[in-house]
Structure 1
Amino acid sequence: MTNESQTDPAIDAKRRAAVWAASQIEDGMAVGLGSGSTSALVIEEVGRRVKEGLRITGIATSEASQKLALELKIPMSDFAHLPQLDLTIDGADEVQEGTLNLIKGHGGALLREKIVATASKKLLIAVDPRKMVKTLGAVFTLPVEIVPFGYETTVKRLRDLGFELELRVKDDGKPYVTDGQHYIVHCKLPQVGFNAEQAAKSLKQTLGVVEHGLFLGMASRVVIGGPEGIQVLEATK
């Protein structure tokens, strides 16, 4: 279970968003369960509802979320048995106002998060107001998951594309390794002249890149928890 302060306003905001997001799960649904602090609150609320009789099957976007879900007795599966999901609920590092484009992956699970989101009919993002930005990259860097073998050459290719970046490392100085056994580099995005679609295309075409944390046009709805309640933003098609 999460051990965050019950009186922290930011946590209260996350919890409001998480509770509302979990309320959108209907009986019999196949549900993707996201990663990060807000998603942990979602999973706790889903676990509470399952205990009260809600029948769902879940697929987690990280080993940590899988562990928490199993601890809460949420029935879990995999894509061999559950090829499509009705709904995925996840958090985000940044949500761009207007477009609902996202930066995700600072929790280190962006590849699995994108696989699960892509396999879902709908993606619901739960955040607190601090995650809303006018321009992607305004607060957070962009995580990019890369293959460990020859990562130095991948880093050079990314720098040649104009990205300022750093390899993510652990406290001991060794590279951080994702659940998929990859490395992550954090790219600083320019605040002038940045085109998310072009950047996403360039990153995907770069040899050694597995996936990037730009989630463009994927969110169906974003729920923002605040001091007075929640606000729901709908994607426009």
Structure 2
Amino acid sequence: MSAEIDPVKLMKQEVGKAAAALVESGTIVGLGTGSTTAYAIQYIGDRLKSGEIKDIVGIPTSFQAEVLAKEYGIPLTTLDAVDHIDIAIDGADEVDPNKNLIKGGGAAHTREKVVDALANKFVVVVDSGKLVERLGSTFKLPVEVIPMAITPVMRAIAKLGGKPELRMGIRKAGPVITDQGNMVVDVTFDSIDNPAELEKTLNNIPGVLENGLFVGVTDVVLVGEVKDGKPLVYEM
């Protein structure tokens, strides 16, 4: 057993740190979901603790983000209590050259979209493996659906040319249930030529709550990669 730190983990930490460094005192921060964002939450907590920044409140996008924020001492608020979000930090499953995203690997994309779209500045943290020429090329598109509508929605998606499958739990019998109590359908498309149009079309299917296409909301993409065994962070 070598005591070497996994370079991928180190890289995720560095990207998280770079995002956390963008948070200023007195701001309202959207706290995203996922492994890289988890490091950002940790470092925001560290900066608060050390007194480097103060008067931060967080708005979590998921139960996971809420638990982490509490663990790292970030005070939380809700969308009912604020009239804006200064900055949101979140991960993504795919990023295209126009900074459009597919999100929802963690089934939190509905709450993420609400928070991220409200933010004055939306910062995405990813590793270079998430960069794609075209959305949908490596990752299925998650669609959150209310349970009673699951069959008609899957039929409607198939008519659009998608191959829908219900996301099943791992180490849990039955489907994945979101924080809102809904189900997730993961859809394979041969190619997503117009993400903005597809986002609207899917959301117009009765019973669909939200899908994982994030079009025109990203301001900054921080990318991490491992070069010669060393972590490197750059802005896309």
What's the TM-score once normalised by structure 1's chain length? Answer: 0.92
Q: Deviations over 1:157-210 (max 9, x none)?
A: 11122110100011344111000111000001213x732122112101111110
> Hey, what's the Cα distance between the residues in 1 that align with 2:133 and 2:7?
23
Alpha carbons 2:37, 2:90 under 8 Å: kept: yes
The residue number in structure 2 matching 1:44 is 42
Deviation at 1:114, TM superposition (A): 0.2
- Aligned 1:6-21 pairs, distance under 5 A: 7-21=5-19
More divergent stretch after superposition (103-112 vs 221-230):
221-230
Structure 2 match to 1:90: 90
Aligned to 2:32: 34
Letter of the structure 1 residue corresponding to residue 168 of structure 2: V
Q: Any idea what the Cα deviations from partners look like across 1:8-55, whole Å, max 9, x if unmatched? A: 222222111110010000010100000000111111111111111222
Any runs of at least 4 consecutive aligned residues in structure 1 with deviations exceeding 6 A, and if so which?
A: none
The residue aligned with 2:73 is 73
Q: Spell out the pairing of 1:204-223 with structure 2 (5 A cutoff).
A: 204-223=203-222
CA distance in 1, matches of 2:116, 2:49: 25
Q: How many residues align?
A: 227
SS in 2 for 1:100: coil
Q: 1:6–1:17: structure 2 CA closer, same or farther, 3 Å change rule? A: farther
Distance 1:212 1:150 in 2: 15
Preserved contact between residue 161 and residue 189 of structure 2 (Cα < 8 Å) = no
Partner in structure 2 of residue 232 of structure 1: 235
Alignment partners' CA distance in 2, 1:150 and 1:195: 25
- The answer (yes or no) to whether the contact 1:221–1:232 under 8 Å persists in 2 is yes
Q: Which amino acid aligns with 1:230?
A: V
One-letter identity of the residue aligned with 2:61: T
* Corresponding residue number in structure 1 for 2:118: 119
**Structure 1 unpaired stretches of 5+:** none
- Kindly report which structure 2 residues correspond to 1:123-138, keeping only aligned pairs within 5 A, or say none: 123-138=122-137
Report deviation, 1:6.
7.1
